[in-house]
A and B are shown apart, each in its own frame.
Chain A
């Protein structure tokens, strides 16, 4: 499972509830990766690292 932050417009994800902008979702890795590739979600770990790096700069 992978935790992602939904960054797209609100959408219904079949069998996994709603993707709401700004909210996090825990999804199977393949589904999460597909949404990341579609630009609808981002990996929470990756975005957290980006944020931390920006803050340290």
Chain B
């Protein structure tokens, strides 16, 4: 009987679109769930032929989609980031690596918007499944009080094949928890936030097929503009943030997640999420019962001409290479 808890999921970064990653270089991702799947839609003939029954079935364009959701682990998280964003810098200080990830300013290559990846999924029976030529299309980071930081990446693509399973090994290191998380808005610490989720839609990435003698997509390209959404809940103990909604101000949002234990003297695994310009779209304080009044908010992360980006993630861990 195959169990989810004995499944292994990982990511392999491809050098180019069209060549699946080698299973000898998998970044295994401890995960809450994965939902990668191959779709084979039917192509049904509509010719009329004197009967009421639908026509012959052929294979339509094959695609792969699905997501990997995880309680963010500092080393594995870097692999998820790299499948959606571009690593713009990496500074090594005695084995402590500080990386900066930003949304791409140009496509990975002419066929792939982001770095193509192969997702490896072994589901505790038979061969492992390889979903290659995938792009990370959406990234979601969310945390609520009393919980872990969670990360989710949605993938689109791609090719499908099967291969022998490989022995899994997982990165170790403590996860980030709510009690070592802080938020600042416009340079001031804000302590009334109860939960917050930041989502990046990297331009509606879509797998497209061409007449190239293949059932699989030949390209993954953007279909819309990139957008960054923020949602959260605040305790409505003052009207400071509501006034920011009314004035439609644009301020810097910084969320800092600091690992609970040192990985080297003076260094902790750390994640800093920075949106240079956050602008509220909705703020809705509501007395929905006898208890504390809360305010749900939604906002957008806007592109900053000063920083040249709409989002910046800084990740500190001990991983040398992705």
Please list the residues of chain A having a beta carbon within 8 angstroms of any beta carbon in chain B.
8-14, 18-19, 30-31, 34-35, 37-40
CB-defined contacts of B8 to chain A, threshold 8 Å: 14
Interface pair A40/B169, CB less than 8 Å apart: yes
Closest 6 CB pairs of A and B: A11-B169, A34-B167, A31-B167, A12-B170, A38-B24, A34-B166
21 chain-A/chain-B pairs, Cβ below 8 angstroms:
A9-B171, A9-B319, A11-B170, A11-B171, A11-B172, A13-B168, A13-B169, A13-B170, A14-B6, A14-B8, A14-B168, A14-B169, A19-B169, A34-B166, A35-B167, A35-B169, A38-B25, A38-B26, A38-B166, A38-B167, A39-B24
Give min CB distance, A9 to chain B, whole Å.
7
Q: With the chains together, A51 CA to B140 CA distance in Å? A: 49
Interface pair B318/A9, CB less than 8 Å apart: yes
Q: With the chains together, A9 CA to B169 CA distance in Å? A: 10
Q: With the chains together, A34 CA to B168 CA distance in Å? A: 9
Give min CB distance, B107 to chain A, whole Å.
30
B190 at the interface (CB under 8 A from A): no
Interface pair B167/A13, CB less than 8 Å apart: yes
Give min CB distance, B130 to chain A, whole Å.
15
Give min CB distance, B40 to chain A, whole Å.
31
CB-defined contacts of B26 to chain A, threshold 8 Å: 38
- Chain B residues 10 to 32 lying within 8 A of chain A, measured CB to CB, are 23-26
Give min CB distance, B4 to chain A, whole Å.
14
The listed residue (B23, B24, B172) touching A10 by CB distance below 8 A is B172
- Identity of the chain B residue whose Cβ is nearest the Cβ of A34 in the assembled complex: B167
Interface pair A12/B172, CB less than 8 Å apart: yes
- Identity of the chain B residue whose Cβ is nearest the Cβ of A8 in the assembled complex: B169
- Chain B residues 141 to 191 lying within 8 A of chain A, measured CB to CB, are 166-172
Give min CB distance, A15 to chain B, whole Å.
10
CB-defined contacts of A31 to chain B, threshold 8 Å: 167
Give min CB distance, A34 to chain B, whole Å.
4
Interface pair B320/A9, CB less than 8 Å apart: yes
- Identity of the chain A residue whose Cβ is nearest the Cβ of B26 in the assembled complex: A38
Q: With the chains together, A9 CA to B168 CA distance in Å? A: 13
- Identity of the chain A residue whose Cβ is nearest the Cβ of B169 in the assembled complex: A11
Give min CB distance, B127 to chain A, whole Å.
14
Contact status of A12 and B166, CB under 8 A, knowing A37-B24, A38-B25, A38-B26? no
| New contact pairs (20) apart from A11-B170, A38-B25, CB-CB < 8 Å | A9-B318, A9-B319, A10-B172, A11-B169, A11-B172, A12-B170, A12-B171, A13-B167, A13-B170, A14-B6, A14-B168, A14-B169, A14-B170, A30-B167, A34-B166, A37-B24, A37-B166, A38-B23, A38-B24, A39-B25
